[in-house]
A and B are shown apart, each in its own frame.
Chain A
């Protein structure tokens, strides 16, 4: 154990003392902060713009206003739905709903300062200002019905902002429907009335009688959190394996090119060397992931503290993480998956003399790693898919897919059998990779010699 620790210590400190490590560590939170701040700034700093509708009455203008009002109502409805899934006091619920129903409009309608486009030109180009609730501003856009009445022309100097035009298109579509319904002798809100009368399809979850009495059948975040947590774990494993490729390849190449193996192998056993190295890379990536995770948790806690009753948003996820039925198979899959992939990469690295040679290996490795990613995606969409059932028995996919299947309560025999398959595969890979590593590190075998290494290995076994 001492030797494993010493190898681990040297490698770990070697990685974390490098500038690149600290840059990577800081990059994700930094980009998240910058991205978040940028998005918030963009939302806040987005200017309120004036627009006008040239018409004799107010049919088009009212239709566009109504479209904006409908959007505001949708946001309020979403807040109410979210509040229903949370354990809130009445006061918190009111606060949450009210906080979401007063969105600030980014487009405000003002009376048209002229009716002809030529007269409106200086206002649209900012040469003249119009008065509105927020003071004098240029006119951002104007809607003018075409002379034949077939279209509502949109005029603006800034054609990169399309939100107002899209609102107007939706409003005109709705207006046309209402006019058609009116001509047919139906109420203008006929379709809304019909929609409102449609049967609701509330979601319920069937539970055992014991659970039914305590939690009811209503579907809450507590029902969905285990799926999100397992997806997170599977993705975390994938990300970790993806991140270690370079560490394991480059680290082994450095030792091979430095001709350091002979010295090391007169001090530690090969198995100790490999275990120390694998642990060091695991610790390096864990340090990064845990740091990022803590940052994400911290920002989540901060964000939820800003929402009334927001703490209850996190509790289902924390409960899912603490659920042994998910976390135990998850962790076992995680560790075995790491050993399987880690040893493959380390063994391949031991066969490379140069970084260029290792780079040629990166593409096939990336492809190998994209396959589990596709499987994770399919499993998230449809965990009961036969493809996922079959793929979960293939050892390279099992670590990811078993984690994803756990919230869906697969049969116990399948869980045990798949864990056994993973354990046997990990042990086999460990054995083979050790042989390949020995051939590369001690005998100087290259990628081209891999076939010969296996041939000798198995012919010796047969012999």
Chain B
């Protein structure tokens, strides 16, 4: 194993009185796919910009492949920023070629690589098309290809799925897996937790500038524990009703029939036990579901209802959390 592609050691960044990133420590080992999760404003992009040396931390240290971020080291990194941007009057081929050359490829290699990537991604017929003439999704594809053109050892993707339709999201997921299979280490931020669940072998969760979780998916689900969801008629206090029976209930943010509650299950108890206790307590039950643990629930349990609500609000309609 070589040097870890990224190490952030107690990094803090403030903007005036606002602390965007607070004492973040993070290590990305070689060959990993790591999901960097959190709602908008959690400090993910600022952390990534510090990791790349675009921004300097107020305290703490960052190293890329064992060195402070500098242009020579960054040649091994491919970065897709959250705010997409390309030169609108350049053609797709010239765009990929330009960014590949900036990363060190010769003119001939850059051109050949641009053509190869465009053909491979189904944009071959748009080689000579200006970016301004492309759809938003196609332009985004071109930017992703520009990020991959120099075959980087380490890919940092800031919200790569944002703005893509489901088909292109799937294509991007495949692309990320292919890059990983090629040997690239991948760190990507997202607030869409399904992508992280499908792609990552490790996740880092951020909330309000702080790291709230860093571990494998198994760790995350174990941390959550088992649970069940019971919906009751509005106004009924299920927590009070179940407390004497030894179950802990919390209001869940689910929208639906009645009030939703999440019941934490102690070791040795099952969802049916919780349902039985609720019936015995005279709860006006309108819905019941054994809980299938999702990253969102892990996140809710780690950061609380307020941040979880922010996460829900920030997620565009149609995107599962």
Rounded to whole angstroms, the CA-CA distance of A442 and B15 in the bound complex is 13
Other-chain residue from B81, B86, B89, B146 in contact with A262 (beta carbon distance below 8 A): B81
Interface string of A254-277 (1 = CB under 8 A from B): 110011101111111100000000
Looking at B71-79, B187-195, B209-217, B288-296, the stretch in contact with chain A turns out to be B71-79
A6 touches B102 (CB 8 A): yes
Q: Which residue of B lies closest to A258 (CB)?
A: B85
Q: Is B321 engaged at the interface, CB distance under 8 Å to the other chain?
A: no
A266 touches B79 (CB 8 A): yes
Looking at B49-57, B244-252, B266-274, B304-312, the stretch in contact with chain A turns out to be B49-57
A267 touches B71 (CB 8 A): yes
Q: Is B98 engaged at the interface, CB distance under 8 Å to the other chain?
A: yes
A259 touches B102 (CB 8 A): no
Q: Is A18 engaged at the interface, CB distance under 8 Å to the other chain?
A: yes
Beyond A265-B54, A266-B74, A442-B55, whether A258 also contacts B99 by CB under 8 A is no
B49 touches A10 (CB 8 A): no
Rounded to whole angstroms, the CA-CA distance of A260 and B53 in the bound complex is 16
Q: Which residue of A lies closest to B158 (CB)?
A: A262
A18 touches B89 (CB 8 A): yes
Number of residues of chain A lying within 8 A (CB) of chain B: 21
B103 touches A267 (CB 8 A): yes
CB distance from A170 to the nearest CB of B (A): 61
Rounded to whole angstroms, the CA-CA distance of A3 and B75 in the bound complex is 12
B98 touches A262 (CB 8 A): no
A263 touches B87 (CB 8 A): no
Question: Which chain B residues border A6 with CB–CB below 8 Å?
Answer: 98, 101-102
Beyond A14-B89, A442-B55, whether A262 also contacts B102 by CB under 8 A is no
A260 touches B86 (CB 8 A): yes
Q: Which residue of A lies closest to B79 (CB)?
A: A266
A260 touches B54 (CB 8 A): no
Residue from the set B53, B77, B84, B102 with the largest chain A CB neighbour count within 10 Å:
B102
Q: Is A17 engaged at the interface, CB distance under 8 Å to the other chain?
A: yes
CB distance from A219 to the nearest CB of B (A): 54
Other-chain residue from A10, A18, A266, A442 in contact with B87 (beta carbon distance below 8 A): A10
Interface string of A49-85 (1 = CB under 8 A from B): 0000000000000000000000000000000000000
B102 touches A3 (CB 8 A): yes
Rounded to whole angstroms, the CA-CA distance of A224 and B286 in the bound complex is 101
A259 touches B55 (CB 8 A): no
Rounded to whole angstroms, the CA-CA distance of A260 and B87 in the bound complex is 8
B74 touches A267 (CB 8 A): yes
Question: Which chain B residues border A266 with CB–CB below 8 Å?
Answer: 52-54, 74, 77, 79
Residue from the set A14, A264, A265, A268 with the largest chain B CB neighbour count within 10 Å:
A265
CB distance from B21 to the nearest CB of A (A): 14
Chain A 416-463 interface residues, beta-carbon cutoff 8 Å to B: 442-443
Q: Is B88 engaged at the interface, CB distance under 8 Å to the other chain?
A: yes
Rounded to whole angstroms, the CA-CA distance of A46 and B204 in the bound complex is 86
Q: Is B83 engaged at the interface, CB distance under 8 Å to the other chain?
A: yes
Other-chain residue from A260, A263, A269 in contact with B71 (beta carbon distance below 8 A): A269
Question: Which chain B residues border A254 with CB–CB below 8 Å?
Answer: 87-88
B90 touches A14 (CB 8 A): yes
Question: Which chain B residues border A18 with CB–CB below 8 Å?
Answer: 89
CB distance from B104 to the nearest CB of A (A): 9
Other-chain residue from A3, A17, A259 in contact with B85 (beta carbon distance below 8 A): A259
Question: Which chain A residues border B81 with CB–CB below 8 Å?
Answer: 259, 262-263
Rounded to whole angstroms, the CA-CA distance of A266 and B15 in the bound complex is 22
A258 touches B87 (CB 8 A): yes
CB distance from A449 to the nearest CB of B (A): 11
Chain B 125-182 interface residues, beta-carbon cutoff 8 Å to A: 143, 146
Question: Which chain A residues border B90 with CB–CB below 8 Å?
Answer: 10, 14
Question: Which chain B residues border A268 with CB–CB below 8 Å?
Answer: 71, 102
Q: Which residue of A lies closest to B98 (CB)?
A: A10
B71 touches A259 (CB 8 A): no
CB distance from B109 to the nearest CB of A (A): 14
Rounded to whole angstroms, the CA-CA distance of A6 and B106 in the bound complex is 11
A263 touches B89 (CB 8 A): no
Other-chain residue from A10, A262, A443 in contact with B83 (beta carbon distance below 8 A): A262
Rounded to whole angstroms, the CA-CA distance of A14 and B143 in the bound complex is 18
Rounded to whole angstroms, the CA-CA distance of A273 and B89 in the bound complex is 19
Chain B 215-258 interface residues, beta-carbon cutoff 8 Å to A: none
Rounded to whole angstroms, the CA-CA distance of A262 and B81 in the bound complex is 7
B55 touches A263 (CB 8 A): no
Rounded to whole angstroms, the CA-CA distance of A264 and B90 in the bound complex is 15
CB distance from A355 to the nearest CB of B (A): 14
Beyond A263-B79, A263-B81, A267-B74, whether A442 also contacts B101 by CB under 8 A is no
B54 touches A442 (CB 8 A): yes
Question: Which chain A residues border B98 with CB–CB below 8 Å?
Answer: 6, 10
B77 touches A259 (CB 8 A): no
Question: Which chain A residues border B101 with CB–CB below 8 Å?
Answer: 6
A263 touches B49 (CB 8 A): no
Rounded to whole angstroms, the CA-CA distance of A266 and B103 in the bound complex is 9
Question: Which chain A residues border B77 with CB–CB below 8 Å?
Answer: 266
A259 touches B89 (CB 8 A): no
Residue from the set B71, B85, B88 with the largest chain A CB neighbour count within 10 Å:
B85
Beyond A18-B89, A266-B77, A267-B74, whether A259 also contacts B84 by CB under 8 A is yes
B89 touches A17 (CB 8 A): yes
A14 touches B87 (CB 8 A): yes
Rounded to whole angstroms, the CA-CA distance of A269 and B81 in the bound complex is 17
Rounded to whole angstroms, the CA-CA distance of A269 and B99 in the bound complex is 14
Rounded to whole angstroms, the CA-CA distance of A19 and B81 in the bound complex is 31
Interface string of B1-39 (1 = CB under 8 A from A): 000000000000001000000000000000000000000
Beyond A14-B87, A267-B71, A442-B54, whether A262 also contacts B99 by CB under 8 A is no
A259 touches B99 (CB 8 A): no
Interface string of A5-40 (1 = CB under 8 A from B): 010001000100110000000000000000000000
Chain B 39-72 interface residues, beta-carbon cutoff 8 Å to A: 49, 52-55, 71
Rounded to whole angstroms, the CA-CA distance of A18 and B84 in the bound complex is 24
Rounded to whole angstroms, the CA-CA distance of A10 and B84 in the bound complex is 19
Residue pairs across A and B with Cβ atoms less than 8 A apart, 7 shown, are A6-B102, A10-B87, A14-B89, A259-B81, A262-B79, A262-B83, A269-B71
Chain B residues with a Cβ under 8 A of chain A: 15, 49, 52-55, 71, 74-75, 77, 79, 81, 83-90, 98-99, 101-103, 143, 146
Chain A residues with a Cβ under 8 A of chain B: 3, 6, 10, 14, 17-18, 254-255, 258-260, 262-269, 442-443
The 9 residue pairs across chains A and B that have the minimum distance between CB atoms: A259-B85, A259-B83, A258-B85, A267-B102, A260-B85, A262-B81, A266-B79, A266-B52, A266-B74
**Given A255-B85, A260-B87, 9 new contacts (CB under 8 A):** A6-B102, A259-B83, A262-B81, A263-B79, A263-B146, A265-B52, A267-B74, A267-B103, A269-B71
